[in-house]
Amino acid sequence: NGAAYDYKAWAVYGVNKSAARAEYKKFNERIKLVSMPAFNELIHGRAIEKGKGGMNPMLTNNIFSSRKAEVYSLLGQRIDLG
């Protein structure tokens, strides 16, 4: 619908197994990357958009997949990115 929302949120990223296998002989297939929001009102975050890169430096090597991200509000409600 093109609407934009401005909320602080947690993001939990799953591992991209094929990318991880290319870099590591062994790895924990259930590992998750948790990106937490800045709690300081003076610090602004970056937009989380399904399938978009560049929001977290830990995602640049594609080992953690932004397509598999689960996003949660500060109240713990899951946010569907579509």
Question: What is the tens place of the pLDDT at every residue in 58-74?
Answer: 778 889 887 778 999 98
Is the Cα torsion angle 17, 28, 11, 63 positive or negative in sign? negative
- Distance of alpha carbon 28 from alpha carbon 38, whole angstroms: 27
Rounded CA gap, 21 and 12, in Å?
20
Q: What are 66's strand-pairing partners?
A: none
For residue range 16-60, what is the model confidence (pLDDT) as tens digits?
999 999 999 999 999 999 988 877 777 766 666 655 555 666 778
Residue 21: partners with Cβ closer than 8 Å, 6 or more residues away: 27
> What is the reported pLDDT for 48?
64
